[in-house]
Amino acid sequence: MLTPTFSIYKSSELLPKEWDSIAASTIFLQSNYLKVLEISAPKNMTCHFIGVFKNQELVGVALSQFIDLNKVSSYGERDSNIKTAARKFVFKNFCSHVLFIGNNMLTGQNAFAHSNAISSTEMMQVLLQAAKALENQFKGEGTKVHLTVFKDFEANEATVLSKVLPDYYQFSTQPNMVFDIPKEWETEDDYIKALSKKYRDQFKRARKKQVEIQKRKLPLEEIQQRRKEIYSLYETVAQNAPFNTFMLTENHFETLKENLKDNFLFYGYFLNEKLIGFNTLIKNGSAMDTYFLGYDLSIQKEKMLYLNMLYDMVAYSIKKQFETIVFARTALEIKSSVGAKPVAMKGFIKHHFFAVNKCIGTIFKYLEPKTEWQERNPFKD
């Protein structure tokens, strides 16, 4: 049997016609989504699409993202000034050029998909070769890749893949918060009935706070018209995050709507006809993936806006009979308070300077902000 081969594509227009059938398991590897990255990826990000072949037949697809952290104005401002300054210095001097095999804009295994004609182990072996080819390509263009990262994998898959990546450091970051919706639930009332008294009271209190707020789905035209308002709300939340490696472009949400159509949902929240917040959702087969959001900080706390957004996401997903809601990382405690459970995620990282790679575990633990949080269980025992 011939050894699997790979091809690297810069444009979604060049992808083999079988691409989407191989990528059927996740919308985030399908051509319509990849076109969004091509048109409106963050300015410090360069994307490539990798096709894996056996006997000239496409058997696997993957995504790579190269990120230049020198082009990020803020890595997150929530830590102390000393910590922020130290992290900024280390990143800019030693870790500013990062090649991801996977999607750094999402949480979960969105790195690759493949048919039964190739195993995950074989797939990773080919992707390791593709990563080296990309490293050489960037080097030829005058850019040295400092770090190569494979992300995100659940524990069982990580154990298998670790054998292919013996010289990579295996790391854990914040978990993916996932809500598994019981099959018997049909409406939001089923969710409310399942809550314990404490969390049912929290639900009622939050809903009471948002009585004056109007929520509605925005069509493409309005997303385009409100581009600057939307971006300002997104930027407010992003800059208050503990850690950023990119900032979305102003046209990102409208590009998603243009390409994903009904699979991308944009909800605006209005107070006295003024846009004060928004959230976005992406339908991904039987899973509902929560995406980026934004809100006015001066109103968020008083109106419990973020919590109400989470409840809205739960209600919609139950109504539309999705099996899971992927809430991703960040705000772990509040997400667990509405019912999401943590799923541990693993990644693999390698620094291309040998001396630095030897102590990459220590460096990584310093650079990755540690989050202390308490898991909640909102449901009756």
* Cα(13)–Cα(69) distance, integer angstroms: 28
φ/ψ (deg, to 5) at 105: -95, -5
Cβ atoms within 10 A of the Cβ of 185, count? Answer: 17
CATH of the domain at 231: 3.40.630.30
At 78, is the pLDDT very low, low, confident or very high (cuts 50, 70, 90)?
A: very low
Domain assignment of residue 33, yes or no: yes
Indicate if 302 and 240 belong to the same structural domain: yes
Indicate if 156 and 181 belong to the same structural domain: no
User: Which pLDDT score is estimated for 93?
Assistant: 59
* Cα(332)–Cα(206) distance, integer angstroms: 18
* Cα(370)–Cα(278) distance, integer angstroms: 27
Closest CA to 64 of 154, 174, 164, 138: 138
> Over 80: is that where the pLDDT of 117 sits?
yes
* Cα(82)–Cα(76) distance, integer angstroms: 13
* Cα(160)–Cα(84) distance, integer angstroms: 36
Closest CA to 39 of 240, 191, 256: 256
Indicate if 351 and 314 belong to the same structural domain: no
Domain assignment of residue 245, yes or no: yes
> Over 50: is that where the pLDDT of 101 sits?
yes
| Number of domains present in the structure of the chain | 2
Domain assignment of residue 161, yes or no: yes
Indicate if 68 and 32 belong to the same structural domain: yes
Domain assignment of residue 140, yes or no: yes
Which residue has 């949480």 as its token pair? 107
379: which strand partners?
A: 195
Cβ atoms within 10 A of the Cβ of 265, count? Answer: 19
**Structural domain containing residue 271:** 177-343
Indicate if 249 and 305 belong to the same structural domain: yes
User: Which pLDDT score is estimated for 357?
Assistant: 84
CATH of the domain at 51: 3.40.630
Note the pLDDT tens digit of each residue in 289-344.
999 999 999 999 999 999 999 999 999 999 999 999 999 988 999 999 999 999 99
Q: Are 154 and 191 in contact (CB under 8 A)?
A: no
Going by the DSSP 8-state scheme, the letter that residue 115 receives in this structure is -
User: Residues 259-271: what's their mean pLDDT?
Assistant: 98
Indicate if 349 and 339 belong to the same structural domain: no
Indicate if 184 and 303 belong to the same structural domain: yes
Structure-token pair, residue 348: 């693999």
Taking the model in full, what pTM does it have? 0.93
Indicate if 201 and 99 belong to the same structural domain: no
Indicate if 159 and 210 belong to the same structural domain: no
Q: Work out whether the CA dihedral 165, 105, 324, 25 comes out positive or negative.
A: negative
